[in-house]
Structure 1
Amino acid sequence: MITVTIYTHQDDITLDQLKADLDSLQSTVEHQVVTIDIDTDETLRKEMHGSTPLIKVGPYTLRPPFNRQDLEVTLRSAQDRVKYYQDDAEYIKRVERGRRVSGADRFSYWFSKQYMLVLNALVLLFVGLPFLAPVMMKQGLTGPARVIYAVYSPLCHQLSFRSWFLFGEQAYYPRELAGIEGVISYEELTQAETIDLNAARRFVGNEMVGYKVAFCQRDIAIYGGIFLFGVIFALTGRKIPGLKWYLWVLFGLVPIGIDGSSQLPSLAKSFFPSWMIIRESTPLLRSVTGLLFGITTAWFMYPMIEETMLETRKILGQKMEVLKQTQKANR
C-alpha cells in the first residue's frame, strides 16, 4: 500500500480539506495517510516553514498550492512506479528496509543526537590520560605510568623542556634560550652543556623535580581547546555557526605555525645558516597558540559535523514517525 505523508502544523487551515480529498481518492488509489507536525521538529520547522501542507508520496513531493487533481496525479504516479518495480529484487529489498527500524538505524539516530557527548568524552579521556601518568609515578605505579608514556610517545615529542611537571619544585623546566627568569632551566636541571633530544624524551622526572605529563604543553592546549569549544557547542544546542576557513587559517594555523616552526633551528643549529634567528618558545606562547588552534579547529569542524548529523536526525526521525503511525493504523 502507498503511504502518503503530510507535513503540516497546527494552524494549517487547509488540512481538513486535504484529508477529505485524500479520503475521496481511496477508491482510485488505495493508500494510507501519515501526518507529521513540523512544529515538533526544529529541523523540519526551519526547512518547511511557510510551505505546508506538503505532501510526500514515495519519491514525489507536492508543495502548495495544489488541488485534488494534483493529488490524484501524484498518487497514480506513485502507484505506477510500484507496479513497474514490483518484480525488481533490489527495489523490494529497499522497500522492506524502509518498513522497519534496524539496530543500525536506532544507533545512528541516537548518535546523531548524542555525538557531542561522545566526542567530548573521548577528547577529555585523550587529554586527561597524560595527566594520569605523573599521578601514577607519584604513587609508585611506574609500570602503568610507563605504558601511558609509551602509548603517547608516537603522538607527541614529549621533550621534557616543553612539558608540564606535577608534584615538583616547578611546573616546567624551560631551556635557557627561552629567557624565562626566576626558574630552574632544563640545562641547570640536567647539568648538560648540550641538549640530548632522546634523553629529553626519556626523562619523566623524579621526586624532586616532579613527574612529566605525557603530553607536551602545546598538545595539552590544543586538545584542551577542542574540549572547551566542544562543551560550549553542546551547551548552546549545537547552534554556533561554523568558522570561516580564512579565519581558521589566520587565527588557528598562522600563530601555531610561526611559533612552532621558528623553534626548529634551536634544535639543529648545524643544519641552518648562522644568520638564522635562534629562539625557544615559552610555555605561555605554546599554550596560547595551541589553545587558539584547538578552539578554531573545533569551531571550523564541529558545525560541519552538525550539518551531517542534522540530516541524519531528519531522515531517521521521519522514518521512525512514519512507521510508528503506520503500525498504529494497521493494528
Structure 2
Amino acid sequence: MPGPLLDTLRGKTVFPRPVWLMRQAGRYLPEYRALRAEKGGFLELVYDCEAAAEITMQPIRRFGFDGAILFSDILIVPYAMGQDLRFLAGEGPKLSPTLVDHGLESLTKVPERLNPIYDTVALVKAQLGPDTTLLGFAGSPWTVATYMVAGEGSRDQHATRALAYRDPKVFQSIIDAIVDVTVEYLFGQIEAGAEAVQLFDSWAGSLAPAEFERWVIAPNAAIVSRLHARHPGVPVIGFPKGAGEKLPGYARETEVDAVGIDETIDPKWAGGALPKGLPVQGNFDPLLLEAGSSMLESRAVALLEAFSDRPHIFNLGHGIGQHTPIEHVERLLATVREWRG
C-alpha cells in the first residue's frame, strides 16, 4: 500500500497531512555534521553511495517524515554533461568551462557519473518502510543552465539572462540538452526505486513573463510529458520558486502532478488560483522555523487551514536553514500531526 505522501500526490485528501522538509537531510542535523567531518567534501559524500544513503535516512529515523528525499545535488546533471564540478568552502559550487565563454561542443558527456546516484536510490529504497515515499529529484533546466552558463550561482542570473536575450538559439540548445539528460537521469532514479520526483527551479523568479514561458514552463512541460509517457504512475512535483502570479499558468501548462509554493505566496490566494484538486506542497517560511517564535504553531495551523479543501503536503517554502534547532522541527511536526481540519 502506498504511504500518505504518495496518496496525496495522487490526489487523495489525507489526515494528518503528510510532511517532509526540503533539505531535511543536511547541516542542521548533528549526525550529518559528524558524517561530513568524517567523510570530507560535499561531492565526495554524494558519490559515496553508502554515506549518501545514510544521510538520506537520518531525518527519517529522527523525525519519521513521510518522504525521504534523495541526498544529492542539482549540479550532477551538468557534471554528467561534461563540466568539471567543485564545491569550494565558503564559495559554493564552481563549474567549468563556463558556457558563457564556450559552446556545448566543448563538453564531453560522462553519463557514468549518474550511476552512483542510482545506487544510492536503491540502497535507500531497501531501508525504507512501506509508508515512507522515496523522492528523487533534479534541477529544472533554467536553474541548471544558470550555473552552466556562469559557472556559479549569482544574485540575478545576469549572465544567463543576457545570453538568452542575445542568442536565444544557442541558449535553446543548452536548455534542450539539459532536458534530455534530466529525463534520462530521472528515468534512472525511478527505475532504481524513486516513487515520485521533484523538479527544483530555484531561480524561476528572475525571469520576465515571456522568458518564464519559454525557459521555465516549456522545458518543464517537456520533461513531465516524457516522464508520464514512460512512467505514468510516478507523480512529478514542480517547484518554481519565485513564480508569483505565474504559478497557476505553470501548474496548468506543465501538467505537473503537484506544485510546490514558496513562502512569499499567500496560501489563500494559491488555494483559489491553482487548478481545483491539484495537490500543493509548502509553504511554511524556513526562517520562521529557524526563529521558532510564538508564531510557529499558529502560522502552521493557518497554512493547514488555507489548504484544507485540497490535497496538501506540509513543507517549507524552500530549504531548511542550517542553524535551525532540532526542537523547532519537533514543535512543527507535533502541530502538523495533531491537526485534523
TM-score range, shorter chain: under 0.3
Between structure 1 and structure 2, the one with the greater Rg is 1
Higher relative contact order (CA 8 A, sep 6+): 2
TM-score by length of 2: 0.24
TM-score by length of 1: 0.25
